[in-house]
Amino acid sequence: MRPCLVECMEQASGTGAEAAIRTRGLTRYFRTKPAVLDMGFRVERGTVCSILGRNGSGKTTTMRLLLGLLPPTRGRCWLLGEESTRLRPETRARVGYLPEGLPLRPGVRVRQLQAHQARCWKHWNPEVYRSIVHHFDIDPGSKTNQLSRGQRAGLCLALALAPEPELLILDEPTLGLDQVAHRAVLEALVHFAQQRGNTVFIATHQLHDAERISDQLIIMDGGTVRASCSPETLLCRVRAYNLIFDTAPPPRGPLKIRGLLELSRSDRSLRLVLADPDADALTRIRDLGASAVRESELGLQEAVTAFMARTRQSEAAPADTSAPLWR
């Protein structure tokens, strides 16, 4: 088993409140290939959770499973306390979704689209819609295919937020946006998160955004959850060790150290990145016979990448089977 960092998020379950999102053993195969494998996580209400991972790591499939757009092969998931495969329309109406690529029917005027959407939803707040459309400088008379990328994002966001959902699910909403539009999206998200009990679940490659707005980060790789914790926890529990070897070359072969995520070596040095190193791991590092060991902290970028570093980690992986998951 590859190392995994899962922090017990403050469990609201004890207070009887149902999580905004909960999954158990969630699995989805496409033919013989698992896109999502045995995923178990929860996102509490009133929090912002960013789901991070390389392209093809299973983020979009996870979202589609959560929304009930795709049935799981096995396992279960719940949105606002209701099983995704059996969401009632009333519950579905409490969830906003912004799919990847901002799909908008071409050739339709913004005004018409808005009128149509407003009729579709039982609840529609024109004030919310207007303020976002205004924020993105969108002319209601223009056609959807005449909008800039940033304006398309703004329009999608306005359409998703106007029904005043409690849970907002976004798939890479800031992809390819300029700085101004990017900031406007973040502002709208922070504003949404301010309302009591509102929850955001966002897939992104923008680590700087994730660090700013998230209570919780979920790092996915190869369809599984590699870490689920707060940004602070990731910063303090993922550590790098630089080992200098003055006299003898560093040991060859795989290293059997619990929590080892990443290993890189040169002639005279080793660099290890560990998730939540325990006393035993530290003893093993000391026993490698280095002439100097320096422990250092990592930035979020490095810490997150270490969990996705499949190629570099492969060297360490075979011996790592001993690591029990500490879920």
Name the residues that contact other proteins, by CB under 8 A: 46-48, 183, 186-187, 190-191, 193-194, 207-208, 211-215, 231-232, 235-236, 294, 297-301
Distance CA 57, CA 133 (A): 33
Q: Are strands 48-52 and 199-203 parallel, antiparallel or unpaired?
A: parallel
In the three-class reduction of DSSP (H, G, I as helix; E, B as strand; rest coil), residue 156 is classed as helix
Selection from 84, 72, 87, 79 nearest residue 25 by Cα: 72
Three-class SS of 198-250: CEEEEECCCHHHHHHHCCEEEEEECCEEEEEECHHHHHHHEEEEEEECCCCCC
Nearer to other proteins among residue 15 and residue 194 (C-beta): 194
* DSSP structure class, residue 318: G
Please give the radius of gyration of the chain, using alpha carbons only, rounded to the nearest integer.
22
CB of residue 47 to other proteins, shortest distance in Å? 7
Nearer to other proteins among residue 47 and residue 114 (C-beta): 47
CB of residue 263 to other proteins, shortest distance in Å? 21
CB of residue 106 to other proteins, shortest distance in Å? 32
Nearer to other proteins among residue 194 and residue 311 (C-beta): 194
In the three-class reduction of DSSP (H, G, I as helix; E, B as strand; rest coil), residue 56 is classed as coil
Nearer to other proteins among residue 255 and residue 306 (C-beta): 306
Nearer to other proteins among residue 51 and residue 300 (C-beta): 300
CB of residue 209 to other proteins, shortest distance in Å? 8
Nearer to other proteins among residue 186 and residue 317 (C-beta): 186
CB of residue 230 to other proteins, shortest distance in Å? 8
Where residue 200 falls (left for φ over 0; alpha for ψ -120 to 50; beta otherwise) is beta
Nearer to other proteins among residue 5 and residue 36 (C-beta): 5
Nearer to other proteins among residue 214 and residue 224 (C-beta): 214
Nearer to other proteins among residue 23 and residue 214 (C-beta): 214
Distance CA 204, CA 198 (A): 19
CB of residue 68 to other proteins, shortest distance in Å? 28
* CA–CA–CA angle 185, 186, 188 (5° rounding): 65
Name residue 294's beta-bridge partners. Answer: 242
The DSSP secondary structure of 73-90, one letter per residue, reads SEEEEEETTEEGGG--HH
In the three-class reduction of DSSP (H, G, I as helix; E, B as strand; rest coil), residue 176 is classed as coil
N-term to C-term CA, the chain: 13
CA distances from 114 to 51, 145, 156, 240, 299 (A): 30, 15, 10, 51, 42
